[in-house]
Amino acid sequence: MSAVKVDVVRLPHGKDLPLPAYATVASAGMDLLNAEDGAVTIEPGKRAMIATGIAIQLPSGYEAQVRPRSGLAAKHGITVLNSPGTIDADYRGEIKVILVNLGDEAVTLKRSERIAQMVVAPVTQVVLHEVDTLEDSDRGAGGFGSTGTGS
């Protein structure tokens, strides 16, 4: 596997924080950190946009996906609201993460705490070709749950 170079700028409020990093050699995502001035408390049913203190420049043909951290979701009901959030290759602003508390209790996230993960992936752009009909398939127009075989 070859590494893709991504330029990153630490913004003034993130200068003291480590850059995103992979937790293990086989990790798909890098941890994003809370770069807010202090702790952020998210009440049940509420959301917050959390600064990460970084901006990136992705190469053309790539995107970064912002995804929830399984530990925050399982333990506290915290998830990324627009999951996965997409960072396009031409975006140069700060990466911010929209978190929502789906749990029953308020959750406080400390500065420098891991709040989400970022996965960089190749993007394929398509050319839509309008036609009058589509080829038949075994599934046809069956929607949600239509591929199940039992109860």
Give the pLDDT confidence of 89-145 residue by residue, as tens digits: 999 999 999 999 999 999 999 999 999 999 999 999 999 999 999 999 988 887 777
Reported as a pLDDT band with limits 50, 70 and 90, residue 151 is low
The pLDDT value given to residue 123: 97
CA end-to-end distance (rounded Å), the chain = 41
The three-class DSSP label of residue 76 is: helix
pTM (two decimals): 0.87
The pLDDT value given to residue 140: 84
Write the pLDDT tens digit of every residue in 11-66: 999 999 999 999 999 999 999 999 999 999 999 999 999 999 999 999 999 999 99
* Token pair for 105: 């209790």
String of DSSP letters for 59-74: PTTEEEEEE--HHHHH
The pLDDT value given to residue 149: 62
User: Residues 70-85, buried b or exposed e (16+ Cβ, 10 A)?
Assistant: eebeeebbbbbeeebb
Distance CA 29, CA 105 (A): 27
CATH match for 7-122 among 1.10.3720.10, 2.40.50.100, 2.70.40.10, 2.60.120.620: 2.70.40.10
Average pLDDT over residues 86-91: 98
